[in-house]
Structure 1
Amino acid sequence: MGATPRLVLATHNQGKLRELRELLRGQVPGLDVDTQVVDAGAVGAPDVVEDQVSFEGNALLKARAVCEATGLVAIADDSGLSVDVLGGAPGIFSARWSGKHGDDEANIDLLLAQLGDISDEHRGASFVCAAALATPGGFVAVEMGHLAGVLLHERRGNGGFGYDPILQPDGYEISVAELSSEEKNAISHRGRAFRGLLPQIVKALQDQTAK
């Protein structure tokens, strides 16, 4: 696998791993993001049951569990879509809204059907992300990020993942799935949460190297 992993992202989602690597590229001296920033599967970290009732709670739960299992600085996020007219749902249930975890197409189909008669003025929604950091020394931190917009009536674009094809960010005429990776990272809920966490990530990795 190359250089020894220094940072593990508690996910098997390659889209999230790519986004984190790009956000960290060049930010941490001596960190080779392509070999030293890895996902849970690369280091045999266990799957963690997300049984908390908030994005923050689930992110912290995963970060702590993976840090304890691997002895590495760990980052986790919990993110989802909050729809105004649904009172914040799907929320923490976004990835399994249709009943099967990770079935993006089925989740989108169900949500579009549920909102079929809702007019544009009432289709406000936001992507929400909680990003958590846990270190072997017991330090933890959490940052939140949001991306507000409106839900489209049909999919647009082939980029991204999850609900990206049906959210049009405020100030844009295209969906998140039509943004370039650079554009998405600049405004995304996950990008904002991870950037908020970046000073703590840098410090944790520097402390790790100093030992």
Structure 2
Amino acid sequence: MIEQTTPAGATGALVVLATRNQGKVRELRALLASLPGLEAVDLETAVIDAVAAGCSEIPETGVTFEENSLIKAREVARQTGLPAVADDSGLAVEVLGGAPGIFSARWAGTQASDEANLQLLLEQLADISDEHRAAAFVCAASLVLPSGDEYVEHGRLQGTLLRAPRGDGGFGYDPILQPLGESRSCAELSMQEKNAISHRGKAFAALAPRIAAVLQAAR
């Protein structure tokens, strides 16, 4: 375990967000903001000593969202000695049998940008008619405690894939997924609107009582 680094000015119980994806960091902070007394720190802050020493990305070797979420949270809890929350999420397209799935972030290659992943998917679905463009964002959110206790919750946002990106909010595939019952893409929703219906919002809402219990135990 690396030397624990507590952010200056931290006043609440610390929970580490096990991600370096700044889009996710913003969403997770917003989702956890309703828990008073919680100090949610990101990886760059919580494990700054390890980062300076060249700490590599945590390999996501699982074959499901749940496995990858737990892999990340377990490793960060081990490194920091703090409770860690993580999620693994992606886009599941029905006509592709659930792909890109766990490969969503690297659909166009291991170093591909969000835009490259999105454009490749649109190209692959160019000939698919509107009635067969059903898709969903899927999320597994986990909490791992230094004691070894683990909790996992799931969330899903059903929708349909647009033929061209719309909106400049969010990240990843947000510009091309239109939630059921909506006329806008996820990237056209405010963060508050998106979190209220999103796969990640649902998963972390279900996980929140577990995180609240951690806060209670820390008091």
**TM over 0.5: same fold?**
yes
Q: TM-score, normalised by structure 1?
A: 0.93
Structure 1 residues 12-161: aligned runs within 5 Å: 12-28=20-36, 30-31=37-38, 36-44=39-47, 46=55, 47-101=57-111, 103-161=113-171
Deviates more, 1:163-172 or 1:97-106: 97-106
Following TM superposition, the consecutive aligned residue runs of length 4 or more in structure 1 with deviations greater than 3 angstroms are none
Partner Cα separation in structure 2 for residue 119 and residue 198 of structure 1 = 39
CA distance in 2, matches of 1:167, 1:118: 15
Q: Deviations over 1:95-126 (max 9, x none)?
A: 00001345100001100000000000000000
**Matching residue within 2, 10, 23 for 2:9:** 2
> C-alpha displacement at 1:27, in angstroms?
2.0
Structure 2: which 5+ residue stretches go unaligned?
1-7
Match of 1:177 in 2: 187
Q: Which residue of 1 aligns with 2:3?
A: none
Please tell me whether the aligned partners of residues 98 and 110 of structure 1 are also in contact (alpha carbons under 8 angstroms).
Answer: yes
Q: For residues 23-48 of structure 1, what are the alpha-carbon distances to aligned partners after superposition, in whole Å with 9 as ceiling and x for unaligned? A: 222323x23xxxx2111121226521
Give the CA RMSD over aligned residues.
1.3
SS at match of 1:6: strand
* Contact kept? 1:134, 1:140, Cα under 8 Å: yes
- Given that residues 73 and 205 in structure 1 are in contact (C-alpha distance below 8 angstroms), is that contact kept between their aligned partners in structure 2? no
How many Å separate the matches in 1 of 2:34 and 2:161? 34
C-alpha displacement at 1:15, in angstroms?
1.6
Structure 1 unpaired stretches of 5+ = none
Distance in 1, Cα, partners of 2:24 & 2:65: 16
1:195 aligns with 2:202: no
1:168 aligns to 2:178 (yes or no): yes
User: What amino acid maps onto 1:39 in structure 2?
Assistant: D
**How many residue pairs get matched?**
204
Residues 82, 125 of structure 1: 8 Å contact kept: yes
Aligned partners of 1:18 and 1:103: how far apart in 2?
18
* 1:11 counterpart residue number: 19
Asked whether the equivalents of residues 152 and 168 of structure 1 are also in contact (C-alpha less than 8 Å), the reply is yes
Sequence identity, in percent?
A: 61
Shift of 1:182: 0.7
Q: Contact 1:96/1:107 (CA < 8 Å) preserved in 2?
A: yes
